[in-house]
Structure 1
Amino acid sequence: MPFPPSPRARSGPRRRSLLAVAPAALALTGCTGGDSGGPSGDDPSAADRLRARAARDSERLAERYDAVIAARPGLAGRLRPLREEVVRHARAFGGGRKASPSPSVSDSSSASASASGAASWWPSPAATVPGNDKDALAGLAAAERELADRRVKALGGVPGELARLLASVAAAGAAHVYLLTEGAA
């Protein structure tokens, strides 16, 4: 007899998708530390470009958090810890120029101004903040999910240390998706 479907529709990552990152992360932790070039002769400039892009992506995600916090002040307490972790990710990748502390709730104009340099793959955060909390959280979750997926896909051809960092930040992004959709941050 088959099990009846769950009465509540689940959103966000499933355990299987969260665990899909774990084997890659575990396999990468067995690599020797400080491996910058890798035995395959990876171009260091390609790794540097990937690291810079990952830093920019995290900075833009922090800007998106800023925009939601400014537009939906009731979510600030829930979102600030996640935003601070995104800022730490940007710094870990070597960024941090634009990932300054979150603007105050009353300073929404600075959030809009900092959001104006958003990447072409991501619309301006200020322009995309929905009018209700549920949709604002869903938008952040979608942005986190898309970025985590791109980072997992980039794992294959990068040196050990950068691959470990990408895997770790992708796993954190998947956890953020869960916290934004089902858990309480």
Structure 2
Amino acid sequence: MPFPSPSRTRPGPRRRSLLAVASTAVVLAGCSAGSEDSDATGGSRPSAAKRARARAARDSAGLVEQYDAVIAAHPGLTARLRPLREEVVRHVEAFGGAGRASSPTASDASPPSAASAASPSPSPSVSPSIDVPGNEKDALAALASAERDLADRRTRELLELPGEEARLLASVAAAGAAHVYLLTEGNR
């Protein structure tokens, strides 16, 4: 039994369907090209990423100052805070900022007591506006709170950044969350 021959309609998509799909593809390609390839065109996405990196470097540098202030006020915490502070300095550098390695916490291989005895103040650039609580437990809690707030803010900013910057920010936010744990672990 032979199949009936088709009517005048051709097999495949209609011309109008092809035009609609093509125009949608052009619109979508134009949107994605403007947001992904904006390095060459000077679009807003790279500058937003650069601004985010600069802000993250400043935030981490401010956190280094907080560590320095706590260490200056409570030299007994130097050994506990030194590794965390050094990691925050590396975060500043990862975001393109200038890390401050010159402080008593970054002294060569000298023991913590020698470092704090040799240089009681962390550095001349510690902001005098940083309030450090009078006892060590509250000082650690304030530092943990600063780390938590910064990690939370960085986590919220992830959605606004392109791939590499988002991965870096996520990694540093996770490190900040780990710092919160390490700062609060000994207080319980």
**TM more than 0.5:** yes
Unaligned runs of 5+ in 1: 1-36, 118-123
CA gap of 1:133–1:92, structure 2 versus 1, over 3 A, is same
Measured against aligned partners, the alpha-carbon deviations of 1:135-184 in whole angstroms (never above 9, x if no partner) come to 01001000000000110010001010000000000000000000000159
Measured against aligned partners, the alpha-carbon deviations of 1:71-107 in whole angstroms (never above 9, x if no partner) come to 101000000000000000000000125x233235354
> Which one is further off, 172-181 or 99-108?
99-108
Contact residue 140 and residue 183 of structure 2 kept, 8 A: yes
Contact residue 38 and residue 160 of structure 1 kept, 8 A: no
CA gap of 1:76–1:163, structure 2 versus 1, over 3 A, is same
Secondary structure of 1:154's partner?
Answer: helix
Residues 1:163 and 2:166 aligned together: yes
* Counterpart for residue 94 of structure 1: 96
Contact residue 72 and residue 122 of structure 2 kept, 8 A: no
* Counterpart for residue 12 of structure 1: none
Q: What is the Cα deviation at residue 110 of structure 1? A: 5.4
- Percent identity over the alignment? 67
1:7-26 aligned at under 5 Å gives the runs none
Residues 1:141 and 2:152 aligned together: no
* Counterpart for residue 71 of structure 2: 69
Distance across 1 between alignment mates of 2:35 and 2:173: 21
Structure with higher Rg: it is 2
Distance across 1 between alignment mates of 2:68 and 2:176: 17
Equivalences, count: 138
Secondary structure of 2:59's partner?
Answer: helix
Contact residue 141 and residue 180 of structure 1 kept, 8 A: yes
Contact residue 152 and residue 166 of structure 1 kept, 8 A: yes
* Counterpart for residue 50 of structure 1: 52
Highest relative contact order (Cα 8 Å, sep 6+), 1 or 2? 1
* Counterpart for residue 9 of structure 1: none
Distance across 2 between alignment mates of 1:172 and 1:129: 23
Q: Which amino acid aligns with 1:46?
A: A
| TM-score calculated relative to the size of structure 2 | 0.67
CA gap of 1:74–1:110, structure 2 versus 1, over 3 A, is closer
* Counterpart for residue 132 of structure 1: 135
Q: Which amino acid aligns with 1:156?
A: L
Contact residue 152 and residue 170 of structure 1 kept, 8 A: yes
Unaligned runs of 5+ in 2: 1-33, 39-43, 105-114
| TM-score calculated relative to the size of structure 1 | 0.68
Measured against aligned partners, the alpha-carbon deviations of 1:26-58 in whole angstroms (never above 9, x if no partner) come to xxxxxxxxxxx9649652111101101100111
Q: Which amino acid aligns with 1:71?
A: A
